[in-house]
A and B are shown apart, each in its own frame.
Chain A
Amino acid sequence: MDGPAIEIENLVKHYGQVKAVDGLSLTVRPGEIFGFLGPNGAGKTTTVRILTTLTKPDKGTARVFGHDVVREAVAAKGLIGVCPQHTNVDAELSVYENLKLHGLLHRMDPPRRESRINELLEFTGLSDRRKAQAKVLSGGLKRRLMIARALLHQPRILFLDEPTVGLDPQTRRRLWELIQASLRSGATIFLTTHYIEEAEKLCHRVGIIDQGRIIALDTPAALLERVGRVVVECAGEEDGMTFFEDRDRAAAHAADMSGDVLIRTANLEDVFIRLTGRRVRP
């Protein structure tokens, strides 16, 4: 099982006339936290659905540790853990039963399954909710349960599709601590997110997708280098952003400007705006 963790070649997926994924090619290395960044409708979730065997591509190939997700779907499924964007815990089952079901589906032997369940319940702070039905949990607790579930069988690749969307900053931070601490050494994470700061802080590399195509792919630092590390923003102007390599040059430029001017460090959102002319967040 050497080689790339994920290998996508010329992937295409249409929904009617809409091209959701348009010739996407991408490689993710083992052990990497890979961020997939883009606005709504860019093709992030479709790509994740193809990689997690939920959607069949029209063209191209996608492989997970060498296993084609269409032709060797069962083998590919055995290597992945999925935390989808929507909440999909089994509402009528208890917290424990949700995890037990996942363990059964992944054919974990009972002693290992029970030990992992106890470990993850403890770890996610859900031990005292063990017998509670999932439907009575808050949104944040349901997310914790979903992440515990995705981690239970110790997948080699964890797909996290907007895992922290709609959660307050404290819960988001806690969830990220959980994910990072619980992942076994060498596991790969494929993360889609709207939260630019998450991608910047957590990801080894980031792919920016727009209209189904990868438009930039590099480390966050290298992407920032491309546009300039410092931004001068002129209030009230739609396209009033200028990028500079350092703060001195930015300050010199700002001195010649009239009105309210903001000098700040560039982020991945700026990279996206620079590349596409639009914002990641709608």
Chain B
Amino acid sequence: MKAVYAVFWREMAILRRRMVKTLISYAIGPALFLIAFGWGLGRSVTMEGVDYLTFMIPGLMSLTSMSQAWSIGMDINIARFYWMTFEEFQTAPLHHLAITLGEVLAGMVRGLLGAAIIALLALLGGVRIDPSPLLLLSLGLNTFVFAAASVVGAMKVKSHADQSSLNSFIITPMTFLCGTFFSLESLPQWAAWLVKALPLTHASQCIRAAALDRPFPWISLLVLVLFGLVFFYWAGRCVRKASL
């Protein structure tokens, strides 16, 4: 665990230095979504039996926690190809899973911070989200899945440009398709099935159910666990391959 802590400590030391800038950047995008679609449009629209703002906030929490957890990959990419500081990890006597877990935990912290900011913004809009254990579990799993996937991506790509392409091909489609902004019930059957193959869909369903105190989709939680295990195993292999 000392090795995991060492990797995690480095990422937290950098996050601490950038904290104000980071928190502001975490808040800007979601705040714009809230203003435009929530407070602007959402007052007059209902979805799945609640006003749109209340519907959208859990979706935004899924989305933001995903994208911030995913952002650890960009930092790994910069550490590998620009600063070359990742070599410090690679030449230290660390097990590859320690490096992987340290990075994933750092991604999870970012993702959870992002979700906390949405909860605060929601409070300003009059929507209170209680941090129930199921909500925290769902958020934790969502950030775990995407931080692990992000480590895979960061270890696979060969340049900064490739990393940006990953965002365009993986994160952007999920942002708009996975039930964060609309109910999956409005999709045609085939599209709904397609979207259900994506992890954010299951994260959104779990987070929304936990936040709005609805029946919890345990199957989706299980799917997230499976995604998490697969991505973590894969991330470990990629780190091992890169570090012998």
Contact = CB atoms under 8 A, between A and B. Distances in A.
B81 to A, nearest CB: 11
B243 A104 contact: no
Contacts of A105: 3, 6-7, 88-89, 92-94
Nearest to B82: A91
Interface stretch (B8-16, B134-142, B223-231): B8-16
Contact of A93 (B13, B90, B91): B13
Contacts of A86: 84
Interface string B70-96: 000000000000011101111111110
A44 B201 CA distance: 50
Given A53-B243, A74-B94, A104 B6 contact: yes
Nearest to B92: A105
A262 B83 CA distance: 46
A221 interface: no
Given A56-B244, A104-B6, A107-B3, A92 B14 contact: yes
B214 interface: no
B5 interface: yes
Interface string A97-120: 100011011110000000000000
Nearest to B99: A105
Interface string A214-242: 00000000000000000000000000000
A104 B14 contact: no
Given A90-B10, A101-B10, A101-B13, A52 B91 contact: yes
Contact of B6 (A56, A91, A97, A101): A101
Contacts of A73: 243-244
Given A74-B95, A106-B92, A106-B93, A101 B87 contact: no
Nearest to A84: B87
A48 B9 CA distance: 28
A116 to B, nearest CB: 15
Contacts of B14: 90, 92-93
A78 B91 contact: no
A209 interface: no
A93 B244 contact: no
Interface string B208-244: 0000000000000000000000000000000000011
Nearest to B14: A92
Interface in A175-201: none
Interface residues of B, number: 25
Contacts of B9: 101, 104
Nearest to B15: A92
A70 interface: yes
Given A69-B244, A88-B83, A91-B83, A77 B6 contact: no
B185 to A, nearest CB: 46
A262 to B, nearest CB: 42
Interface in B8-51: 9-10, 13-14, 17-18
Which residue, of A52, A78, A80, A88, has the highest number of chain B Cβ atoms within 10 A? A88
A221 B93 CA distance: 37
A53 B240 CA distance: 11
A77 B99 CA distance: 14
A82 interface: yes
B16 to A, nearest CB: 10
Contact of B13 (A54, A74, A80, A97): A97
A54 B91 contact: yes
A88 B88 contact: yes
A104 B244 contact: no
Contacts of B92: 77, 102, 105-106
A105 B5 CA distance: 9
Contacts of A78: 93
A202 interface: no
Given A91-B83, A92-B14, A80 B6 contact: no
A155 B95 CA distance: 19
A73 B91 CA distance: 9
Contacts of A261: none
5 contacts: A54-B91, A74-B95, A88-B88, A90-B10, A93-B14
Given A90-B83, A104-B9, A107-B93, 5 more contacts: A53-B91, A54-B87, A78-B93, A82-B87, A86-B84
Interface of B: 2-3, 5-7, 9-10, 13-14, 17-18, 83-85, 87-95, 243-244
